[in-house]
């Protein structure tokens, strides 16, 4: 499912400004449920609550349907 989420996330991010923060801390987190794979791209902070979530991609494990939410400012 990550192989499905990765290009969808990349394409969705093209319409948004680059995130503020040190990109060397860019991280991919994943969680699997019975029905979905959920992938978050975020910039890690010193503490978990300091992380800046950039996007969340959800892939339906049965249909392969993808939904991407981006939490950045759109490009002008």
Residue 20 has pLDDT above 90, yes or no: no
Query: pLDDT tens, 21-59?
Result: 889 999 999 999 999 999 999 999 999 899 999 999 999
Q: What is the pLDDT of residue 1?
A: 85
Which pTM does this prediction carry? 0.89
- 73's CB contacts (< 8 A; 6+ apart) are 16, 17
Beta carbons within 10 angstroms of residue 38's beta carbon: 16
């Amino acid at each position: 499912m990550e192989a499905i989420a990765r290009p969808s996330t990349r394409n969705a991010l093209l319409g948004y400004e680059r995130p503020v923060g040190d990109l060397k801390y860019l991280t991919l987190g994943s969680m699997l449920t019975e029905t979905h794979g959920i992938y978050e791209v975020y910039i890690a902070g010193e503490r978990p609550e300091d992380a800046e979530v950039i996007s969340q991609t959800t892939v339906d494990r049965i249909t392969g349907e993808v939904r991407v939410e981006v939490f950045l400012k759109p490009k002008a």
